[in-house]
Amino acid sequence: MDPKLINDCVHCGFCLPTCPTYVLWGEEMDSPRGRIHLMSQHVEGTPMTPEMAGHFDACLGCMACVTACPSGVQYDRLIEQTRVEVEREHERPPQERAVRGIVFNLFPYPRRLRLLRPTLGLTGRMAPFLARVNPSLGAMAGLAPRVERRQRLPRVVRARGERRAVVGMLLGCVQREFFPQVNAATARVLAMEGCDVVIPPGQGCCGALSVHSGLEAQAKRLARRTVRTFEKAGVDTVVVNAAGCGSSMKEYATLLGYDPGFRVMDLSEFLAELGPVATRHPLPRTVAYHDACHLAHAQGVRSQPRQLLSGIPELELREIPESAICCGSAGTYNLLQPEAARDLGDRKAKAVESTGAQLLVSANPGCTMQIAAAMRRAGADIRVAHTAEVLDASLRGAAL
């Protein structure tokens, strides 16, 4: 924990109404200001007690406070440093260690996730039973999405028409195995906009889940592998369609101590900069766009997805109330803190339902699963699609 970063906080309280856990519970120690106070105490010698670790664990890492802070406090760096300290100093109870062991030995490994695909339909039905065994296992089962057929992508997807750019494409872990249609749509959209899309084989996890959870050694190992993969591919831009992955990859220089040989851009960010050339066909839908925290707050990408969606004829874009408040997904948060995550998911579901939209658009697989599960609980089983899928349908003149 960097004392200089801690001292940037002037305790003004602008962060409080933006913090999901403070909004839920109204407890000072479960706000960014309160957690920074605890960080200061620890730096000054207070041991990492279970209570202190609990307040840090309760933080979603959504970075809404970073957006709200007038003093420029780098809470994103502070909470990541703090999580490393928690993992070093705090001994977790056996059941908690077991759950975390399952999560971090499963989700950062696409091949292991692939083994779950045939069981996801049954897993969802087992959620009530698993919840009685352990709330985290129940949450994991309740989030299980309806998976589509796996779609193998070639190593290179060639541009249609004149080539305007060459980009690498990250496949991700959850995105690749649970939402293969999103990666396929992403590659098609990029190609239709004039890009050669390089998809290196042997891609693994980018390290996002690990870095957001204080597992520094695992995060660095996975990040180095990702850097080597795309440097070997020879691309100078890597396009990412998962907000959490893009957020972490943009911080590789901080994590690894050196700049990778490529820039990282979210899909919407890249397409907005590139500019459209492909014809948009009408898509008569009312759409609510969800701001993923690691896209809006961590990367500052807000206008670009809206710009792309608004460019589709006959599509009506609607804003979601309390759009800056996290849905409760937050990487692995909805698995490790299921009760708070469920409350936030239910709050987000009500906000989405209030828009009356036919379709919810989300740019992060975790958000997609979290909000879809909350909507099902509310009896409003709304279709959730990625920005890439909506663009793909419009460019191809296909139904969505």
Instruction: Please spell the DSSP secondary structure of 139-197, one letter per residue.
Output: HHHHT---PPPP----SEEPPSSS--EEEEE---SHHHHH-HHHHHHHHHHHHHTTEEE
Distance, CA of 91 to CA of 100 (rounded, Å): 12
- R_g of the chain computed on alpha carbons: 20
Q: Tell me which H or E stretch contains 44.
A: none
Does some domain include residue 130? no
Distance, CA of 191 to CA of 371 (rounded, Å): 30
Does some domain include residue 162? no
pLDDT for 33: 96
Record the pTM.
0.91
SS3 394: helix
Does some domain include residue 384? yes
- With a cut of 80, say whether residue 46 has pLDDT above it: yes
Decide: 370 and 328 in contact? Cβ < 8 Å: yes
97 — pLDDT class (breaks 50, 70, 90):
very high
Q: Tell me which H or E stretch contains 356.
A: none
Tally the domains of the chain.
2
CATH number for the domain harbouring residue 346 = 3.40.50.10700
pLDDT for 251: 94
Decide: 341 and 364 in contact? Cβ < 8 Å: no
For tokens 């943009």, name the residue. 250
pLDDT for 92: 93
pLDDT for 321: 95
173-192: average pLDDT? 95
User: Which structural domain range is residue 80 located in?
Assistant: 3-89
Does some domain include residue 377? yes
- Domain ends where: 89, 118, 147? 89
For the chain, what percent of residues have pLDDT higher than 90?
84
CATH number for the domain harbouring residue 31 = 1.10.1060.10
Q: Which of 98-107, 109-118, 218-227 has the weakest average pLDDT?
A: 109-118
- With a cut of 90, say whether residue 231 has pLDDT above it: yes
Q: How much is the mean pLDDT over the chain? A: 93
List Cβ neighbours of 206 (8 Å cut-off, separation of 6 or more).
170, 172, 222, 223, 226, 245, 248, 249
Does some domain include residue 53? yes
220-240: average pLDDT? 96
pLDDT for 114: 87
Does some domain include residue 293? yes
**DSSP-assigned beta bridge partners for residue 263:** 237
pLDDT digits (tens, 9 = 90+) for 118-177: 777 677 677 788 788 888 888 888 888 887 787 889 999 999 999 999 999 999 999 999
374 — pLDDT class (breaks 50, 70, 90):
very high
Structure tokens at 89: 């100093």
Does some domain include residue 297? yes
Does some domain include residue 353? yes
6 — pLDDT class (breaks 50, 70, 90):
very high
- With a cut of 90, say whether residue 344 has pLDDT above it: yes
Beta strand 195-198 with 156-157: parallel, antiparallel or unpaired? Answer: antiparallel
